[in-house]
A and B are shown apart, each in its own frame.
Chain A
Amino acid sequence: MKYDVIIGLEVHAQLQTKTKIFCGCATDFTPDAPNIRTCPVCLGLPGALPVLNRRAFEMAVKAALGLRCQIAHFTKWDRKQYFYPDLPKGYQISQYDLPFSHSGLMEIPADPEVAGAEGLTRKVRIIRAHLEDDAGKNIHDESGRGSESQVDLNRAGTPLVEIVTEPDLRSPKEARMLLEEIRLLLLYFGVSDCNMQEGNLRCDANINLHLHHDSGITTKTPIVEIKNLNSFRFLEQACEYEVSRQLKTYGHLEEIADRTKRTFGYDPQRGVTIEQRSKEEAADYRYFPDPDLVPVIVTADQIQLWQADLPERPQDRRQRYQTELGLSPYDAGVIIEQGRAFADFFEQIVAHGAESKQASNWITQEIQRILNERKCSIGEFPVSAELVGTILRKVSDKQLTLKAAREALDALVSYSEENTVSQETLEKVIQERGLSIVQNDELLLNIIQQVIQKNPKPVADYLGGKQAAAGSLLGQVMREARGADPQLVKSLVTQALDALKSGNS
């Protein structure tokens, strides 16, 4: 029996605004104590009213434009009502029928293991992205002694953007890849720190199977929503488990009477999905327009301004690195994955004269190695992209060997611990350490060998006893190895010719 896996995602990302979405409380999540980043509004005190943080709205629009969504000219706020201790108002302020954005698109390479998908691009339609406020956190006594649960509302009121896709994904791996791409986009756009451990990026997966029975009948299994997956690995594993569970449960059935959607959680320790609430307990959120908030009107001009202000999508950058800079898909991917600051650094190296393939090798190997050793981020890298670019330009100009360039970089890094590093520092390091290509026998010898090979006549003359013939060879080598020490060149050329002489005899 053949079957198709059908997956759609709902991704929640916290926006990295300075203040909460409907009040002025700070959104830093490392406060010293619970409930200190709170005020009457986010505590849901009687009489308090929400007021929209424009910055949160603009950030959410930025994210939606990144997802190639349409921005609505009119959007409103709705209350999603349910009781839970971490929800102090008894409702979440969300968007129901008129979200601020809709109809977007993300593309990922299709999972080659899906039949017929190899080499294809998976186009994943984004149904909508909307804005809402986050809940707080319930803290339960895990000792089993049954002491009181506590509620921390520091997080309550943090802006969340929820991104809902069509069920266009065809494998757990594609689900993971899409979430990774969304994360990259949000990171590059500076709208979310996407810290998954903190729960700043989390995801629900809707998954079911289309079973193609040998009889020709196709049956659809009930959709299962797996809630609150907070790592890429858990997303993929939970979907994989769910595929196998649904196959086992329904694989033999040509008719499935009850196709009600069900809600599951994922237990990563046991690697299984577990049903959370049955349909009898299915929530009726009683959405209705929040009368405390006015609708937001967005003009076409405003959308154009936002659009013009948009940074380059990481997906577009990756493509550009391949088509314009000639990087392999793999290399382009590695650089993009490291984040915007890393990719920016790479581009600056190239802008300062480095050959792009060389720059790619360097940033992913030399620079990455130093970052790992020093346990720091690219932003803290002690040598500027301009200097790295200069070093690599010297390599392509054959002024430095790669080995010497590496040594120069290492020298600059150690030098940087006590001094600021400048162009002069680089020149000083090259000179002091004798890194210049002209003093590098091996490379100079290469040049000499080439010159000898290209000039058989003067070489033969010299070998025939015409000492003066060496002069023209010397001149050519000096032209090739710019700035070389003439004494050294002279002695090396002589040595090389003498070696030929003895070889001939």
Chain B
Amino acid sequence: MTLEAGSSLKTGSGTGTSSIGSLFKALNSGTTTSRQIVESCLNAIDQRDGSIGAFLHIDRERALQAAEASDLRRSTGEVRGPLDGLPISIKDAICEAGQPATCASRILEGYVSPYSATVIDRLHAAGAIPLGRVNLDEFAMGSSSENSAYQLTHNPWDLTRTPGGSSSGSAASVAARMVPGSLGSDTGGSIRQPASLCGIVGLKPTYGRVSRYGLVAFASSLEQIGPFSLDVFGAAALLQTIAGHDPHDSTCVNTPAEDYLQTLDTPLADLRIGVPKEYFGEGLDPEVQNIVEEALAVYSQHGAKLIPVELPHSKYSVATYYIIAPSEASSNLARFDGIHYGYRSPNFTDLESLYAASRGEGFGPEVKRRIMLGTYALSAGYADKYYVKALQIRRLIRHDFDAAFQQCDVIAGPVTPTPAFRLGELTDDPLAMYLSDIYTIAANLAGIPAISIPAGWTASGLPVGLQLQGPVFTESRLLRAARMLEIDRPWIDRLPPAAGG
């Protein structure tokens, strides 16, 4: 395993933590311990999270104990893998036994999950240390952290700006070097968009690659849990730890997870990169376009062929998504009714008013908006016009990708139309906010894997990501392609101001 490009290790005060790849190396060479790593993360959180606002809950003692257990394993030669001893932050929508799982919603305030998500069990089995619960847009609905019922999360590159969302805390906690990696979820771009806006790696796996058991459902047919990391190595290590069949999730595919690390450093020869014209049209910030095109030029220099492809139905992606996702959400969120767990309003006189008041007071405005959209779209007399129609378009979008992948190995383009926008800038314009997912949504509709990697920085110092999408179950290809850019143009030494950069 070679980890030279871009790896550095600064465990001294002030710089926070480092990449998973470099920490793994340092642990192996004995220059650091898991305890030291966890302590440096906790220090960084103490120093920085006041201004970043990524964490909702931290379990220090447990993390330190887990670190000591990991160090003990290492001393007896029982290391469980590349994540052993490394702290990982967890989006507060992924359940862990004994930990809160608020989904950044009032309606789950004080709720403690009695069971763990499959991905959490797998992290523990791999020796990784879930360090804290990080912020999100309420129930993963949003693109900015502004829909969190508890706090705003700020972009470590510019505290006045959004880190993106909905996995806001995951991206910000990694970008600010408070943890080396994180687990988030991606329903329409909720991993890739914040990864792009925060200058880190974020991967949305193929639908069915990773178990959803224990991920509080927003839109079941679209979402996947996936990794955030400073480096591609970390994303690969996290993915291969959490991926694979799970008997608790029947939509999880019954094929063994691959060893993504094994092939990671082998560049892809004769790579054919599809460049859809639909991703470079109106609405795309020129600076973002330049940065993405420069990244594509790097691939050309390494022998990749850039091939124009068409995704003719991509213009319907946002509309399709905003029928299907709210429809599923309206159903998935019905269980938050004030009866069985979570918030119950004191303001009720009968069963119906108990439901109305508990849900009315417990959910935030964006969640309510989507529940209403979805309820409408599934109503008698409207379902055929909206929900069923959207399913038909979804199929066409899938066919677009099938056709495009006849010509190319990966599809490249921007992750978001603009770099991080200012907090508060789009809060009054939900439609404009929805459009920030315009390039990411199609991958969820098609169920294909996609990765966001840092492609460059704007003149004002905001990161811009490159998105690579592949056919189903080509995570290995995407990671190798990402690694090619990482080797050529390492990004890890560039620190955000909030991390001392």
Q: Which residue numbers of A lie inside 8 Å of B, CB to CB?
A: 40, 43-52, 79, 81, 83, 85, 88-91, 151, 284, 286-288, 291-294
Contacts and interface: CB of A to CB of B under 8 A. Distances in A.
B340 interface: yes
A288 B221 contact: no
Given A44-B340, A46-B101, A151-B340, A291 B334 contact: no
Contacts of B378: 81, 286-288
Contacts of B330: 286
B249 interface: yes
Interface in B338-359: 339-341, 351, 355
Interface in B89-127: 93-95, 101, 103, 108, 111, 113-115, 117
A51 B248 contact: yes
B380 A81 contact: no
B383 interface: yes
A286 B377 CA distance: 9
B250 A52 contact: yes
B147 interface: no
B335 A40 contact: no
Interface residues of B, number: 45
A43 B95 CA distance: 15
Interface in B229-257: 247-251
A273 to B, nearest CB: 24
B324 to A, nearest CB: 9
Contact of A81 (B93, B115, B331): B331
22 contacts: A45-B113, A45-B114, A46-B101, A46-B103, A46-B336, A47-B93, A47-B101, A47-B212, A49-B250, A85-B337, A85-B351, A91-B334, A286-B375, A286-B378, A287-B383, A288-B328, A288-B331, A291-B219, A291-B328, A292-B220, A292-B251, A293-B251
Contacts of A91: 331, 334
Contacts of A284: 379-380
Contact of B215 (A40, A47, A50, A89): A47
B235 to A, nearest CB: 23
B217 A51 contact: no
A47 B115 CA distance: 10
Given A45-B114, A284-B379, A288-B328, 17 more contacts: A45-B115, A46-B101, A47-B212, A47-B213, A47-B214, A81-B334, A83-B337, A88-B340, A90-B337, A91-B331, A91-B334, A286-B375, A286-B378, A286-B383, A288-B378, A292-B250, A292-B251
Given A46-B101, A151-B340, A286 B331 contact: yes
A313 B128 CA distance: 58
Nearest to A22: B250
B113 A47 contact: yes
Given A47-B117, A294-B250, A90 B334 contact: yes
B340 A48 contact: no
B387 interface: yes
B334 A151 contact: no
B111 A288 contact: no
Given A46-B101, A294-B251, A288 B383 contact: yes
B375 to A, nearest CB: 7
Contact of B250 (A48, A51, A89): A51
Most buried by A among B117, B339, B379: B339
Nearest to A282: B380
Contacts of A90: 331, 333-335, 337
Contacts of A44: 335, 340
B273 interface: no
Contacts, number: 102
Given A51-B247, A85-B351, A46 B220 contact: no
Contacts of B380: 284, 286
Contacts of B383: 286-288
A37 to B, nearest CB: 15
Most buried by B among A50, A51, A291: A291
A40 B97 CA distance: 11
Contacts of B95: 45-47
Given A45-B113, A47-B101, A91-B334, A291 B375 contact: no
Nearest to A52: B250
Given A46-B95, A292-B251, A83 B355 contact: yes
B22 to A, nearest CB: 33
Given A40-B114, A46-B216, A85 B103 contact: no
A83 B334 contact: yes
Given A90-B331, A291-B221, A85 B339 contact: yes
Contacts of A43: 340
Interface in B192-238: 212-217, 219-221
B389 to A, nearest CB: 13
A52 B247 CA distance: 10
B327 interface: yes
Contacts of B111: 46
A123 to B, nearest CB: 33
A418 B94 CA distance: 63
Interface in B400-415: none
Nearest to B208: A294
Nearest to A46: B216
Contacts of A85: 337, 339, 351
A113 to B, nearest CB: 40
Contacts of B375: 286
Contact of B331 (A46, A50, A79): A79
B94 to A, nearest CB: 8
Most buried by A among B93, B219, B334: B334
Contacts of A286: 330-331, 375, 378-380, 383
Cβ-closest 3 pairs across A and B: A90-B334, A291-B221, A291-B220
Contact of A288 (B94, B247, B249, B387): B387
B337 A288 contact: no
B113 A49 contact: no
Contacts of A293: 250-251
B331 A47 contact: no
A103 B459 CA distance: 69
Given A81-B334, A85-B339, A47 B217 contact: yes
B255 to A, nearest CB: 15
Contacts of A83: 334, 337, 355
Contacts of B334: 81, 83, 89-91
A44 B334 CA distance: 10
B249 A49 contact: yes
A21 to B, nearest CB: 13
A124 B113 CA distance: 49
Nearest to B213: A49
Contacts of A46: 95, 101, 103, 108, 111, 113, 216-217, 335-336
Contacts of A292: 217, 220, 249-251
Contacts of B339: 85, 88, 151
A294 B249 CA distance: 10
A299 to B, nearest CB: 18
A154 B117 CA distance: 23
Nearest to B380: A284
A288 B219 CA distance: 13
Contacts of B333: 90
Nearest to B94: A47
A50 to B, nearest CB: 8
A324 B380 CA distance: 54
Most buried by A among B108, B220, B248, B330: B248
B345 to A, nearest CB: 15
Most buried by B among A44, A52, A89, A288: A288
A46 B336 CA distance: 9
Contacts of B94: 47
A288 B330 CA distance: 11
Most buried by B among A44, A90, A294: A90
Contacts of A81: 331, 334, 378
Contacts of B217: 46-47, 292
Contacts of A287: 378, 383
